């Protein structure tokens, strides 16, 4: 065997080892991928298919293909479009308020020298409750007869104050916003605190040497520095809020008179009580598209920020 | 040696096969599976099941328990997905038409003789029939009557209303005299509970929820009058501001807290209302037949909890035998003692006699009135699979009427147009 042949054989051996090494992860990932396809992709594709049929929960006959009829019907539905708009508004308000609160609280916490661990744990407590429990808790807080808020008002004004918080416009919508913000702001705080603590002390020191005020330091140094964290948190929370159901369902059920109706409370009623699974599926896909749009936007911003910052 | 080994292996194979076949033959079902309604009082009946197990050698496995709406969702999704692994299911007169349409339950006429059914109150038994076939066997039923505070009626010199007009005028008259936080009346203000109450009052006023061609008729003058009553009472502050968030538990809690003067309520809560440790109104109220409307019809929205056999069941005879046991005189006596309104005439005779012997006049009145209403006023919602979808369209709009977002006529016309479109879409016309 000549040296060339030997080299060729070595090369072949090497490439087969490389191929083997490349195949191994794919092979190892196959069971997980198969499972994901089975439990996520298959139901998603099936519900997408159902959204193009006339399937109802009580129909005996096989679903008939109806094209885009369900999607067209949705846009003629006087409840759907307001619910869609309300859902987008709900996402925008909760996520933005959580962002602002999260930044301020995280910044304040970063200054705490002693007991930060305990403070972090206390702050995370709302996240430990299931949304259903939070829903019941706020339903009681805002109850018009025995609720905490009206009782406090009674103590202040020394006369019965019966404000139907969960009923009136726009109080009902505000109450579900308050509950959602209370429950999820800690998530933002934890993410931003991690971001703030990862800023190099040199940058902060340099800003202080330059004579910046606390506000300037916060707005010109800290916030830009944690921008990647902000976009990740916004993306995660937008997806999360776009799925809002449990809390709203318990507090108001989307009512009264659709005043707090979000997409998922409407989807649930349409699909299960009203038996109309096909339209429910179509509506779900529209919501998924909105969630994807929000996520796409935030990740694009994240990439842009990372490019600017060279990280 | 090799031959011996082969022979042993062959023998083992044959023995294994024979054993497997034997096992298969012996594997006739010994377990009856059920999907039932859950909740403390509902589950007392299930404690009787061991008696049937001892008699038949079968084992009963309750594979699911949930409240009425949870189990309705489960049944519909299971029937649609073909994932039914139970033989007997809870059922309800308001819901069973959905399960017929979903091909999930079977007619029971072949499993129950006329003799076995003759003891059931006819009006209730008939409410479980569709297209001349019996689909559900009644367990217990409920209907509402007017509850009113005897002390407050006396204090304010009120007369017990006999019509919905009198009901409204009494409520409006008394409200200004009540302390803050106390209201003349209340209703459950959301979901099927609201649709049902509207259905009840509008029927009294002469409107039909659906006409004979399944076209909505609730926007007729009788319906408008009923909706106007709800709206006017709320607008005048004669109902709690949170009414549109109330379901059954909420209205009952307000009543036992002593915050309501009169309202229409199911009989099923009676023992709770008369429990002095839980209720401020124990001994302070009376009951009468539901008011009537312009059509001369008394309120009588009613429903029955019941049992059905699933189409998927492989042991329908056994399932029927179990239903006969669970709705027998003995089983119904257990439920009657818990305060449920049972469905067998013979049990009624006994519990009324027992109540008379116990000497509480209201207990006796309650039973006699309920029995009277069961015979004369019992009225289920329209027996159509689209009752709940129609209700889902209706109640948020009705809430809008109550809260003043739209006038009764506007709201009812809008609801009627939507319900008609839905019924058309489902192939009714």
Q: B321 to chain A nearest CA, in Å?
A: 28
Instruction: Please list, in sequence order, all residues whose beta carbon lies within 8 angstroms of the beta carbon of residue B94, skipping any fewer than 6 positions away.
Output: B192, B303, B380, B381, B387, B388
Residue B191 has pLDDT above 60, yes or no: yes
Between A17 and B270, the more confident residue is B270
Domain B31-135+302-371 fold: D-Maltodextrin-Binding Protein; domain 2 (3.40.190)
The architecture CATH gives domain B142-301+380-425:
3-Layer(aba) Sandwich (3.40)
Residue A305 has pLDDT above 80, yes or no: no
Q: Tokens 């305060």 correspond to what residue?
A: B339
Per-residue pLDDT, A311: 55
Band of pLDDT at residue B366, cut at 50, 70 and 90: very high
Cβ contacts of A275 on chain B, cutoff 8 Å? 76, 98, 385, 388-389
Residue B21 has pLDDT above 50, yes or no: no
Cβ contacts of A167 on chain B, cutoff 8 Å? 241-242, 244-245, 403
Asked if the domains B31-135+302-371 and B142-301+380-425 are classified in one and the same CATH topology, the answer is yes
DSSP assignment string, A1-62:
--HHHHHHHHHHHHHHHHHHHHHHHHHHHHHHHHHHIIIIIHHHHHHHHHTTB---TT--SP
Q: Return the H-helix or E-strand segment holding B304.
A: strand B302-309
Task: Kindly report the backbone phi and psi dihedral angles of residue B298, in degrees, each rounded to the nearest multiple of 5, phi listed first.
Answer: -85, 150
Per-residue pLDDT, B4: 46
A153-164 pLDDT tens trace: 999 998 888 899
Sign of the CA dihedral with A272 first, then A278, A283, and A284 last: positive
B36-63 pLDDT tens trace: 999 878 999 999 999 999 999 999 999 9
Selection from B314, B57, B254, B395 nearest residue A258 by Cα: B395
Q: A55 to chain B nearest CA, in Å?
A: 10
Residue B107 has pLDDT above 60, yes or no: yes
Angstrom distance (rounded) from CA A243 to CA A260: 15
What average pLDDT does the structure give for chain B? 92
Per-residue pLDDT, A306: 74
Cβ contacts of B181 on chain A, cutoff 8 Å? 145, 160, 162
Collapsing DSSP states into helix, strand and coil, what is residue B210? strand
- Of the listed ranges A32-36, A139-143, B16-20, the least confidently predicted one is B16-20
Per-residue pLDDT, B17: 47
Angstrom distance (rounded) from CA A306 to CA B145: 69
Q: Where are the domains of chain B?
A: 31-135+302-371, 142-301+380-425
Q: B170 to chain A nearest CA, in Å?
A: 23
Per-residue pLDDT, A293: 85
């Amino acid at each position: 065997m000549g040296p060339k042949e030997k080299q060729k054989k070595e090369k072949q051996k090497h490439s087969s080892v490389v191929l083997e090494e490349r195949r191994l992860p794919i092979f190892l990932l196959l069971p997980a991928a198969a499972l994901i396809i089975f439990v996520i992709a298959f139901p998603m594709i099936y519900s997408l298919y159902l959204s193009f049929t006339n399937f109802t929960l009580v129909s005996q006959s096989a679903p008939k293909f109806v094209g885009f009829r369900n999607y067209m019907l949705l846009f003629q539905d006087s409840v759907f479009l307001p619910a869609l708009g309300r859902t987008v508004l709900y996402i925008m308000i909760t996520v933005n308020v959580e962002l602002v609160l999260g930044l301020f609280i995280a910044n304040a916490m970063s200054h705490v020298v002693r007991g930060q661990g305990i403070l972090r744990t206390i702050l995370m407590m709302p996240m430990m409750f299931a949304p259903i429990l939070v829903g019941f808790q706020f339903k009681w807080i805002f109850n018009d007869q025995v609720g905490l808020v009206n009782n406090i008002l009674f103590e202040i004004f020394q006369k019965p104050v019966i404000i139907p918080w969960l009923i009136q416009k726009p109080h009902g919508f505000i109450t579900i916003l308050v509950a959602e913000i209370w429950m999820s702001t800690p998530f933002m705080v934890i993410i931003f605190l991690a971001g703030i603590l990862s800023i190099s002390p040199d940058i902060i020191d340099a800003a202080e040497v330059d004579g910046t005020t606390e506000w300037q330091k916060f707005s010109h140094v800290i916030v830009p520095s944690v921008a990647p964290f902000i976009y990740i948190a916004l993306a995660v929370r937008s997806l999360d809020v776009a799925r809002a159901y449990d809390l709203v369902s318990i507090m108001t059920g989307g009512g009264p008179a659709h005043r707090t109706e979000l997409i998922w409370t409407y989807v649930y009623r349409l699909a299960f009580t009203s038996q109309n699974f096909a339209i429910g599926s179509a509506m779900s896909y529209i919501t998924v598209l909105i969630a994807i749009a929000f996520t796409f936007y935030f990740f694009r911003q994240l990439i842009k920020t990372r490019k600017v910052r060279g990280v | 040696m090799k031959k011996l080994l082969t022979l042993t292996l062959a023998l083992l194979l044959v023995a294994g096969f024979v054993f497997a076949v034997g096992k298969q033959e012996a594997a006739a079902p010994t377990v009856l599976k059920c999907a039932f309604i859950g909740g403390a009082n509902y589950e007392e009946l299930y404690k009787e099941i061991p008696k049937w197990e001892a008699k038949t050698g079968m084992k009963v496995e309750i594979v699911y328990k949930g409240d009425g709406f949870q189990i309705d969702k489960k049944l519909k999704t299971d029937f649609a997905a073909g994932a039914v692994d139970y033989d007997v299911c809870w059922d309800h007169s308001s819901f069973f038409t959905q399960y017929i349409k979903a091909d999930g339950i079977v007619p029971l006429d072949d499993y129950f003789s006329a003799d076995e059914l003759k003891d059931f109150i006819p009006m209730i038994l008939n409410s479980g029939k569709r297209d001349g076939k019996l689909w559900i066997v009644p367990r217990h039923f409920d209907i509402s009557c007017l509850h009113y505070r005897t002390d407050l009626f006396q204090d304010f010199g009120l007369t017990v209303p006999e019509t919905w007009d009198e009901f409204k005028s009494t409520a409006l008259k008394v409200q200004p005299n009540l302390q803050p936080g106390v209201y003349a009346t209340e209703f459950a203000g959301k979901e099927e509970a609201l649709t049902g109450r509207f259905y009840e009052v509008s029927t009294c006023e002469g409107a039909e929820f659906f006409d004979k061609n399944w076209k909505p008729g609730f926007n007729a003058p009788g319906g408008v009058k009923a909706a106007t009553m709800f709206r006017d009472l709320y607008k005048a502050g004669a109902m709690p501001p949170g009414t549109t968030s109330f379901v059954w538990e909420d209205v009952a809690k307000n009543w036992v807290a002593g915050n309501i003067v009169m309202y229409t309520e199911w009989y099923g809560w009676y023992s709770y209302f008369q429990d002095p440790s839980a209720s401020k109104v124990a001994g302070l109220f009376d009951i009468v037949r539901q008011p009537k409307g312009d059509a001369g019809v008394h309120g009588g929205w009613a429903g029955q909890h019941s049992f059905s056999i699933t189409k998927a069941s492989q042991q329908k005879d056994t399932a029927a035998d179990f239903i006969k046991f669970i709705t027998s005189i003995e089983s119904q006596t257990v439920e009657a003692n818990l305060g449920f309104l049972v469905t067998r005439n013979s049990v009624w005779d006994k519990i009324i006699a027992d109540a008379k012997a116990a000497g509480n006049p209201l207990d006796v009145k309650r039973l006699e009135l309920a029995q009277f209403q069961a015979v004369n006023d019992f009225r289920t919602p329209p027996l159509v699979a689209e009752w709940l979808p129609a209700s889902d369209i209706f109640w948020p709009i009705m809430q809008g009427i109550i809260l003043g977002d739209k006038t009764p006529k506007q709201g009812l016309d809008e609801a009627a147009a939507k319900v008609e479109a839905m019924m058309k879409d489902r192939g009714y016309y």
